[in-house]
Structure 1
Amino acid sequence: MNRNFVIVGAALAALWHSTALAQDTIDIKVGVLNDRSGTYADLSGPGSDIAAQMAIDDFGAAEKGINVEIVGADHQNKADIASSIARRWFDQDGVDIIMDLPTSSAAFAVSDLGRQNNKLVIVTGGGSSDLTGTKCAPSTFHWAYDTWSLAHGTGSALVEQGLDTWYFLTADYAFGHSLERDTSAIVTEAGGTVLGAIRHPFPGQDFSSFLLQAQSSGAKVIGLANAGADTINSIKQASEFGITQSGQTLAGLLIFISDVHALGLQSAQGLVLTESFYWDHNDETRAWSRRFAERFGGTMPTMSHAGMYSAMMHYLKAVDATRSKDTATIVAKMKEMPTQDVVFGAGRLREDGRKIHDMYLFRVKTPQQSSGPWDYYETVATIPAEEAFRPIEDGGCPLLSK
């Protein structure tokens, strides 16, 4: 065969491919809706934009004819503000998918709007297990963790250690209620006893009266069913009252590495916690996290940031595979394909919208054990993916009966 003919043929094929790709270009608008100024800004906030953009870049979306625009907004941890923004995004601004959504009440509100508007919602920051339970929606996925997985990991581990009487300090909104409920069930199932609970305003500042009531209960464990700055302040104030020094154990039921960083190892040492991601877990997580930190002022990613990356990557794979952004088409493809990425490894999506992957039980190192900044966790146990999340038949998701 003539060599010139081969070269020309290859060039024509490349030109045809690029032309076809240009004609098949898909424009996607992603809304990252989260807390950018308050209690959850460190664990979510602007870092979620960075994680999403990293996934877009790593996937090579532009080269595959997928043009992605990210827009962001601060819902201030209020469901009404989240609803207002999401409604405008869906109705006026052409947003195709809303992601992140820390604060479960906000996540529920936006999930309902996604159902009404036939739009995709992926919750990587919110925690309530009801998102894939009684309040599941056909176009909502729940990604990084949930209250059942946290309760199962930390609650079971502490009861097994003989810490079998509990009292809860709970943030008074959907997430806190869900975390208290799920942990209470796990503690009781494991043979422990729940002595009571007290609920604090969300967000809170002064936890002194609540902590003193929890201390007076005599429970071996004070379970902190809160998150972010609320958890940080609870732990700091508990230390000031000498609660842990007197023999009671604080259980941070949702702790992010950003919380440990803010507390410092002197205050956080010994905390047992459950997470789906730790930057120093393996070579792949270390490499990805260092790239994230370079873009985010040296700050290592939380599991919510990892969830954003993982969810965006899987979504883009589905868009590329189907050459569509139709919600029903994308949801079906995302559930059909196994998940695989550098932050969570292998996993899958269930029919109720729950993302399944391994979870990990960690213990916070002492200052002496740490080799430097961000070297905070030691792995206590790996919770296999199929055990880490609530069995699908126990959630009460109405989608499963259809």
Structure 2
Amino acid sequence: MAGLLPTPRARAAGKPLKIGVLCDMSGIYADDTGQGLVAGVKVAVDQAGGTVGDRPIEVVFADDQNKPDIGTAIAGRWLAEQDVSAIVCASASSITLAVSDMVAERKKVLMVAGSLSADLTGKRCHPSTFQFGLDTYAGPVSVIGPTVKAGAKSWFIINVDYAFGQSLRDEGTKLIAANGAKLLGTTSFPLGTADFASQILQAKTSGAEAIALACGGSDWSNLVKQMHEFGITEGGQKLVTLTGGINEIQAVGAQYCLGMMLSTPFYWDLDDGSRAFAAKFRAYHGGRFPNWQQSDGYSGALHYFKSVAAAGTDDGVKMAETMRAMPVDDLLIKNAPIRADGQVMRPTYLMKVKDESAPNRADIFAYVSTLSAEQSWRPAAESACPALRKS
């Protein structure tokens, strides 16, 4: 799937400012990203008035099908042939890491809005790549500590077997040990697995008090459904999600996730700004509520538009400098600086799944606490990003 999103041109007569949206639009992550990510960018276009100076904004979008060769080929065409100057990417991490390298080489700009590999702001960081959402450090760091303190001293990790899941597993392993707990084992599965019996039985027989889920999208939902069928929680083992969000929980049913804690940089009912964004978003996405990935598409695109206006150019090198010099400030993120590794230094929120019988089915999270930016993101001293170590 590929397309061009028409935007208001007002009286603009200059060269179009083209921004691409690349993500899964037909596979296991389509609910997390898909047309909802395009809708988030559309809210940013509207907030910018449809233009930057005299340049009309054009949004192109495409389905990467969760395949690195397809995703990189699309990004390559956009950058080389279609004059796309920036990409909002929420692809599988293996795709986004490759696109990040490509964007740096072509001197363009990449806003990450749902790809979680910590390497994007770590050993493979680039001045042209900006992380607006969670990564595989921020997701686990806020939930593992509280779960250990609540009594879970032994753990088992089930991860999807590619860059995203492997990174979650590795970060989770370190954080479990750092909190004084013991990891009894890990197991993995291919992306798009239908039958999780083998992985679930390994976790069950391990006797671990907590089973950490290092995956997302429909993989996460199917895994949780099958764990319920195996009676995992009824047997006393606790499920801990390292990245799952509102879409996954709605798909499986909140009644199977009651009490589950998770970290998120956004929730649609958090405050007046998030509710205002949700109202605008729902008008473009069939009444559906936004998740954090889709909200990051809004924040990333709007910050880019503001930076182009401030710099008077979409030159990639100047854009990267301008984007870092300006704090991110919109309906959802308030005056957040961007660190040298490209991480937007915003707070995250610890949420707990509440009873699905709430009047609005999308109202499934109860706020627990706020983690400051310094608590949420990897400390600079531990970073593998050369630019951050120098700063």
TM class by shorter-chain length? Answer: over 0.9
1:246 maps to: 235
Query: In 1, Cα distance between the equivalents of 2:12 and 2:164?
Result: 45
Q: Shift of residue 61 of structure 1?
A: 4.2
Select which of 369, 374, 398 maps to 2:386. 398
Q: Decide whether the 8 Å contact of 2:43 with 2:298 is kept in 1.
A: yes
Q: How far off is 1:343 after superposition?
A: 1.7
Please point out which of 366, 370, 382 is paired with 1:378.
366
Distance of 2:388 and 2:328 partners within structure 1: 21
Does the 8 Å contact 2:176/2:182 carry over to 1?
A: yes
| Mapped contact 1:130–1:395 kept (Cα < 8 A) | no
Q: 1:389 aligns with which of 371, 377, 380?
A: 377
Instruction: Measure the CA separation in 2 of the matches of 1:338 and 1:262.
Output: 35
How do 1:92-111 and structure 2 match up within 5 A? 92-111=81-100
* Cα shift at 1:388: 0.8
1:192 maps to which residue?
181
Amino acid at match of 1:154: V
- Answer with 1 or 2: which has the greater Rg: 1
1:298 matched residue in structure 2 = 287
Aligned residues: 381
Q: Structure 1 residue aligned with 2:64, among 60, 75, 87?
A: 75
Q: In the TM superposition, what is the alpha-carbon distance from 1:24 to its structure 2 partner?
A: 9.1
Is the CA contact 1:26–1:324 (under 8 Å) kept in the aligned structure 2? no
Would the aligned equivalents of 1:277 and 1:344 in 2 still touch at CA under 8 Å? no
Q: What is the rounded CA distance, in whole Å, between the counterparts of 1:338 and 1:367 in structure 2?
A: 37
Which of 199, 209, 220 is residue 220 of structure 1 equivalent to? 209
Is 2:141 the counterpart of 1:155? no
Structure 1 segment 117-156 matched on structure 2, within 5 A: 117-156=106-145
Q: Answer yes or no: is 1:164 the counterpart of 2:153.
A: yes
1:266 matched to 2:259? no
- TM-score w.r.t. the length of structure 1 is 0.92
Deviation at 1:284, TM superposition (A): 1.6
The answer on whether the counterparts of 1:358 and 1:388 sit within 8 Å (CA) in structure 2 is yes
Aligned 1:210-359 pairs, distance under 5 A: 210-359=199-348
Tell me the secondary structure at the aligned position of residue 105 of structure 1.
Answer: helix
CA distance in 1, matches of 2:15, 2:375: 38
CA offsets, 1:44-69, max 9 Å, x none? Answer: 00111111111011122427323211
Give the Cα separation in 1 of the matches to 2:194 and 2:381: 39
C-alpha spacing 1:63/1:116, structure 2 compared with 1 (3 Å): closer
SS of residue paired to 1:33 = strand
**Unaligned ranges ≥5, structure 1:** 1-20
Structure 1 residue 29, shift from structure 2 partner: 1.0
Alpha-carbon distance between aligned partners in 1 of 2:385 and 2:140, rounded to the nearest angstrom: 19
AA matched with 2:349: Y
Which of the two has greater helix per residue?
Answer: 1
* Separation in structure 2 between the aligned mates of residue 274 and residue 210 of structure 1, nearest angstrom: 24
Q: How large is the RMSD of aligned CA atoms in angstroms? A: 1.6
Quickly say closer, same or farther: Cα 1:91–1:264, change in 2 above 3 A: same
Structure 1 stretches (4+) deviating beyond 6 angstroms? 21-24
Equivalent positions of 1:39-58 (< 5 A) are: 39-58=28-47
CA distance in 2, matches of 1:331, 1:63: 17
1:102 Cα deviation from its structure 2 partner? 2.4
Task: Describe the superposition over 1:152-180 as per-residue Cα deviations: whole angstroms up to 9, x where unpaired.
Answer: 11111211211121111010000001111
Native 8 Å contact 1:83 1:110 kept in 2: yes
Classify the secondary structure of the residue corresponding to 1:335.
helix
SS at 1:216's partner residue?
A: helix
SS in 2 for 1:349: coil
Alpha-carbon distance in 1 for matches of 2:253, 2:30: 18
Q: What one-letter code is carried by the residue in structure 2 that aligns with 1:258?
A: N
Q: Are the equivalent residues in 2 in contact too, given 1:272–1:361 (CA < 8 A)?
A: yes
Match of 1:194, SS? strand
Q: 3-state SS of the aligned residue for 1:112?
A: helix
